Each structure stands twice: as C-alpha cells, then as structure tokens.
Structure 1
Amino acid sequence: MAKTYFIGDIQGCADQLQSLLSKIEQTEPHAHYLFAGDLVNRGPKSLASLRLIRDLQIAGRAESVLGNHDLHLLAVAQSIRKAHRSDTLDDILQAPDREELTQWLRHRPLAIFQDQHLLVHAGIFPQWSAKKTMKLAHEVEAQLRGDNWVDLLQHMYGNTPVQWQDDLQGYDRSRCIINALTRMRFCTADGIMDFDSKDGLGNAPKGFAPWFDLPHASAKVCTVFGHWSTLGLILRENLISLDTGCVWGGKLTAVALNDREVVQVDCPQQQKPG
C-alpha cells in the first residue's frame, strides 16, 4: 500500500518540491501526495510547480486544497485583482497553457478528509466539525466550478463578516467560509477572526488565540494545515502544521499520514518577510 504524504506550502519553489519528491520516492516510489495549498507565488517557478502538481493529480497520485495565493492567481488571471509587487505569477499568466492550468486550479477542493485527517490551507472555526467543514467547503467548491465562478471571485475579497453564523447567506457566507479556510490564524472562542497578525503562538492579539488552541468541534480528527510559516512544524495527536517557510529560506516539509514520518529539504531564501 503506497504511503500518503501531506506537503506544506510550496509557493512556486519547484526545484525544492522536485527534490522533496525525489527524496520520498527513494523509498516510496508510488507515494501519494496531499498538498496544503499555496502552490504558487513568491517563489521563482510558479509555472513549473503548478504543472508538476497538475500532472501528479491527473495521474491519480496527488490532490491539493486551494490556498489564498492560488485564489489570488485566479483573480489576477481574470483581471479582478492587480498583481502585487511581490507576486511571481507572470510565468503562468504568459504561458500557452494558462487557461488549462487556471481551469484545473479552480476545480481543486477547499478541504480534504481522508483517514480521520482533515486538510485545509489555513484554519477552521471552533464551531465546525469535520463533517460541517467538508459540507461548507463543498458549497464554495460548487460555486468555483460553476458557470458564475468569476462572480464569486469578484465578491471574495474583504474581511467581513468576521464571525461565522449559520444563517449567513449569499456572498457574505461564501466569503466567510473562504476566509476561514484560506486566511485564518487567530480567532476568539466564539469565532471572530483576526486578519492583521501573522506572528507566532506567543503574540496573539488581545482576546484572541491560535484557532487550533481553542475548544473545537473537530477535535476527534487530526487537522492538517499550512499557511502560517511563523509556526513551523507542529506535530500533535490531533494537529499537523506544515508550513516551514520554504519561500523564506526555511524548509519544505512532508509528513506521512499513517506514521508521521517527516521528510524535509532545505530551501534558499526567495523573499524577505515584510
């Protein structure tokens, strides 16, 4: 039985991804991969990263959730957002297979549940069970895969509503789900998100806590996520934090689903924080 590995934020560091896969496949030649999103942007080879992961997915060997940088790429490609100064998306935007790649990307899930592990890019509200997270993720996935997907991207940006309510409707509901799954770091016990702080565990804004340190309806499963590079690798019984700052000169990390084997490669610094 081939092993499955979770892999943290790549952000266009294709050479390091290839090195990591080669390292894994020395002993697990038929490994399966679940990527935590942010496949592109800020690193030097976003196009190569996207093509590699797309090819693995088509071959039945990989899947990836969407991260905030992946959604940003879709918005830039549709001229909904302007590129940021630190973006490294031009190779994708100018590629002959740009349309094929972006269409493939918008069909990726926002959450994956496998063998009692729940994979998201960023976080989940304390009130969300794994079952509810998957249901809400499917709501937004259906919109991204539907005929009006560009309308969703046009209404996706913004920090409100900051708190989940079951009776949210329309784009407010979709935006709140997207913000939790792709942007959340700190929140309150009653589910109010903070979008300002990117610091580590010791620097929570007053009244806030890391989302995963709050009592959670999903506590019986292991939640796996990336997005938060200042945390580094965290391995707990019901939590795996995967983003070890590849693009910032840290490491690219894979963790095996079944036995928590950790495989890492060192990464050159591509961006400076701030």
Structure 2
Amino acid sequence: MATWAIGDIQGCFDEFTALLRAIDFRPDRDRLWLVGDLVNRGPKSLETLRFVHSLGDGAITLLGNHDLHLLAVAAGHGRLRRGDTLDEVLGAPDREPLLDWLRGRPLFHYDPALDMAMVHAALAPGWDLATAKTRAAEVQTALTSDADGYFAHMYGDTPHRWDNALRGWRRLRVITDYLTRVRFCRPDGTYDMRAKGPPGTQPEGYLPWFALPDRASAGTPIVFGHWSSIGLVDGHDVYALDTGCVWGRQLSALCLEEGRWVSVDCSARGSGAGD
C-alpha cells in the first residue's frame, strides 16, 4: 500500500487521471491525500468532484480556498469571478450531494502512523499540530451547524493576525485565512495575502510561513498546496505540492512512505501565480 499526496487539481481532471496512471494508483490498495482546491480555473471541475467523491475513504480531501469559494457562491454569499469555471458544478443534477460532501471535508489532517500532516495553505506560527487540529475543527463545526452564517462572514482580509482573544466570525475568518489562503507571515503571525509570488518577492519583514523561526509546528513533516509560484519544496519539514497544473505546468504527487515524486505535464492554460 502506498499513500500519495497530490497538489491542487483545480478541475484539471485529465491530468489528474494521467497522474493516477503514472503512479499506478489502485483504490483497493492505495490511499490519496488531496491538499484541496479540487475545483475552479480548470475545465473539468464537475468530473473531478464526482470522481474524488466516488473514492470514498480511499481519499482524504481537504478544503481549499477555491472549494470554499464554490460553496459560498452556491450558498448565495459569493459571486463568480473572472476566470471561474464553476457553472457546470452549480448547474449539475447531482449538485446538492456533491456540495454536501465537499462541505464536510476537513481543513487539516494528521496521520499518526505516518507522523505527517496536511494543510491546504499554512499554519499560524504559534500553532502546534494539536492546536491546528483544534482550530480547524472550529471551522468544520461552523460548516456543519451554521454554514449560511459562516459563508456570510467568510470573506474579508481582517483581522490579519491570530489572537487567542478573537471570538465569533472574526475568529473563524482568521483560522480560515491561515489554513486556506496564507503564504507569507511575520514572526508575530501577521499575514499579507496580497503577496502571491515566490520567496523573495514578499514585503519586507515577511517570510514564507514555513520558514519562520520558532514555528511551533516544526519537526513533523507537513504537505501543503495553494502556492503555485513556489514550485516543489522539500525542506523546512514541509513538502509544497502545487506545481501549477492549472497554469499549464505540472500536476505532482509525492509518495509519503518513500519520499518519491512523480509529475505529469499539463496543457497550457495561462500564466501567473494563481490564488
């Protein structure tokens, strides 16, 4: 049995299935870790959702910012943006069971047998893995108990630093930002989501979230996606998996037991850092 972590698919279903063939994935034998952003920008979000849903327990799938965007739009609390490719999902006859399933996905995962964790974007510098699991569970509870209220308050870039005193929707918004949107932080946890380029392009005083000194989650390998402009990263106890498939580059998988990378080339669709 092998466990394969795969970067942001974003509706690139043909490349996703090509990658599964390249790693000889068998659902009766192997497992998938999907870092989130199953949908949007690519041409086949509906096929991707249907296929991953069909894998059941064979795939552990996180929520990414594009998945949350889809859910917010479907709930009437978000608007389609230029470049979105979500109409097919929103108009599908099986829309509701697919969205119900997607809304139930976690925002953080830790496997004690592998001693590895997975997040879509980042962890706050003061969060160890147990804290990250607890914070993610707060958002998951809101998604199951008051999804309408959550999506009504999800958008917004403030406050932009974690504080244990935060309460209510502001608290959940900051947790969501770290787990699904953040790339760069200051040592005190302040984040700037306008910076989307590779390390070295960020504002002064900021570092990649995983390179911050004294990061509480250091020491346990973490796989993440979201950051297409950074490319493959294997260091700082992290593995960055988003290699820009939707921007015409590659879709990549990492065998967690072996540390082996496999990538497939993707069709050219654009250029840029993504979001």
Q: TM-score, normalised by structure 1?
A: 0.96
Counterpart in the other structure of 2:80? 83
> Are 1:136 and 2:142 an aligned pair?
no
Cα gap change, 1:166/1:271 in structure 2, threshold over 3 Å: closer, same or farther? same
- What is the match of residue 41 of structure 1? 40
**Amino acid aligned to 1:250:** R
Provide, for residues 149-172 of structure 1, a one-character-per-residue CA deviation record: whole Å limited to 9, x for no partner: 111011001011111011110001
State the secondary structure of the residue aligned to 1:124: coil
Number of aligned pairs?
A: 270
Q: Report the AA paired with residue 251 of structure 2.
A: L
Q: Following TM superposition, by how much is the alpha carbon of 1:273 offset from its aligned partner in structure 2, in angstroms?
A: 2.5
- Alpha-carbon distance in 2 for matches of 1:247, 1:84: 16
* Residue 27 of structure 1, CA deviation: 8.5
Residues 85-164 of structure 1: pairs in structure 2 closer than 5 A: 85-114=82-111, 115-146=114-145, 148-164=146-162
Of the structure 1 ranges 38-47 and 256-265, higher mean CA displacement relative to structure 2 is found in: 256-265
Root-mean-square deviation (CA, aligned residues, Å) is: 1.4
| Conservation of the 8 A alpha-carbon contact between 2:229 and 2:272 | no
Q: Tell me the distance in 1 between the aligned counterparts of 2:249 and 2:228.
A: 9
Among 157, 176, 179, the residue aligned to 1:178: 176
Q: Which segments of structure 1 move beyond 6 Å, counting only runs of 4 or more?
A: 26-29
User: C-alpha offsets along residues 9-39 of structure 1, whole Å, 9 cap, x if unaligned?
Assistant: 0000000001111111268972200100000
For the Cα contact (< 8 Å) 1:43–1:271, is it kept in 2? no
* Aligned mates of 1:28, 1:241 — CA distance in 2: 24
Report the Cα offset of residue 145 of structure 1.
Answer: 1.5
Residues 42 and 271, structure 1, Cα contact 8 Å, conserved in 2: no
* Unmatched 5+ stretches in structure 1: none
User: Tell me, what secondary structure is at the counterpart of 1:253?
Assistant: strand
Structure 2 residues not aligned, in runs of 5+: none
What is the alpha-carbon distance in structure 2 between the residues aligned to residue 151 and residue 186 of structure 1?
A: 28
Specify the alignment match of 1:191 in structure 2. Answer: 189
Identical amino acids, percent of aligned pairs: 45
Map Cα deviations across residues 50-84 of structure 1 (whole Å, 9 max, x no partner): 1111111x2x2101110000000001111211101
C-alpha separation in 1, matches of 2:25 and 2:80: 38
Per the alignment, residue 232 of structure 1 pairs with 231
Whether the aligned pair in 1 keeps the contact of 2:211 and 2:236 (CA below 8 Å) is no
C-alpha distance after superposition, 1:105-162 (max 9, x if no partner): 000000000122110000011101011001100111111122x111101100101111
The aligned amino acid for 2:195 is S
Conserved 8 A contact 1:44-1:270: no
Superposed displacement of residue 202, structure 1: 1.6
